[in-house]
Amino acid sequence: MIQKKRSVLITGVCTPWGGKLARLLENDPDFNIILGLDYKKPEFPLRKTEFFQVDLHNPLIAELIKTSEVDTVCHLQFMDAYSHSEEIFDLNVMGAQSLLAACAAGEVPRVLFMSDTMVYGGSSRNPCFLEETADFKGQYRHPYVRDRWEVEKLLAKFSREYPEIKTTILRFANILGPDVDTPMRRYLEAPAVPMVFGFDPMFQFTHEEDVVAALYHALKSDAHGVFNVAGQGAMPIGQVLRVGRRVPVPFGAPFLRMSNFFVQKTPVADYIPIETDFLKYTFVGDTTRMKEVLGFKPKFTSKQTVIDFFEHLRILGYIPKRGEIETAPEAHEQLQEYINSMRRINEAIQGLQ
């Protein structure tokens, strides 16, 4: 019996996660149709992926899902907002709502969403390890956390209304890596890092390579439900700063909270990317379901992720900034095409000898 090839739609295909996932699927013979959506054009080549530059409110997405017989919609389009923005809220939350409506109308069998363990919130009532069924106890003052929380509420309602559609949510913990811009990266990049006086909470971390690997693994598997995803172990934030040779600058919690409130309304909002409660209270996710139900094991532990991240920052300091010395964007493809043509010529000559 011939196994039917799979069809997948990826939103946010221009994000680091969407682009790398699409290229993995392009090399996977199990996937026949790969559709990519984003509001901007990709800056990298896509060989098999059919790309459409549309936003998630487009009414034709439901018809695209149905006619292409998409078996999984993988939603990765999300923008971390560090100040209040109606446009970003529309992209993150209202866009997700429109996509879910399209999934229902298109009768897709499964949806896969990328989320964050920060949706649990920072609270003194948090247990040592948060299971996926734990209540959300955060204040959600920061836009990027609030938007994730809003999307998860939409997903919970969607799952109740359409139980026939399998829903998979991967909640990643504090993503770090050389090629991604995340709230945790922005927090740790500065030489002097703010902390809450008298608090040293535990943090989990997920390497960017493990994020793509987990998405690919979840897409290939039949597992559904909610899964915390993080590298093994956890570290106090003070130890993280010592590994990176960062200078901790302790402040009182009321001062940091007030600073967050006012700075979010200014152009320098990027410089306070972490909610104060996360610097006070532990929000470590229980990864038992990740290992036993999803069957995924991250390559990097939390400590290895932190070490690799700071090593990248150290090396980055030695790389000179580009000025007049530039390489043409198409040079790599031209070189590769020339090398391939020379190989064919050499093989033909050898065949005549």
* Per-residue pLDDT reduced to its tens digit, 300-325: 999 999 999 999 988 876 766 655 55
Single pTM value for the model: 0.86
Distances in Å between the Cα of 85 and the Cα atoms of 143, 257, 267 are: 8, 20, 12
pLDDT band, residue 265 (cuts 50/70/90): low
pLDDT digits (tens, 9 = 90+) for 176-223: 998 898 989 989 988 889 999 999 999 999 999 999 999 999 999 989
If one looks up domain 6-315 in CATH, what number appears?
Answer: 3.40.50.720
Mean pLDDT for the stretch of residues 236-261: 86
Q: Which two tokens stand for residue 9?
A: 């739609």
Instruction: Provide the residue type at 43 as one letter.
Output: E
Mean pLDDT for the stretch of residues 32-40: 93
Residue 266 has pLDDT above 70, yes or no: no
Say if strands 235-236 and 202-203 run parallel, antiparallel, or are unpaired: antiparallel
pLDDT of residue 269: 45
Residue 26 has pLDDT above 90, yes or no: yes
SS3 318: coil
Contact 122, 277 (CB under 8 A): yes
Contact 294, 216 (CB under 8 A): no
**Any idea where the domains of the chain sit in the sequence?**
6-315
Mean pLDDT for the stretch of residues 257-280: 67
Closest C-alpha to 118, from 38, 178, 201, 192: 201
Say if strands 50-53 and 72-75 run parallel, antiparallel, or are unpaired: unpaired
Q: What angle do CA 8, 12, 13 make, to 5 degrees?
A: 65
Share of the chain above pLDDT 90, in %: 65
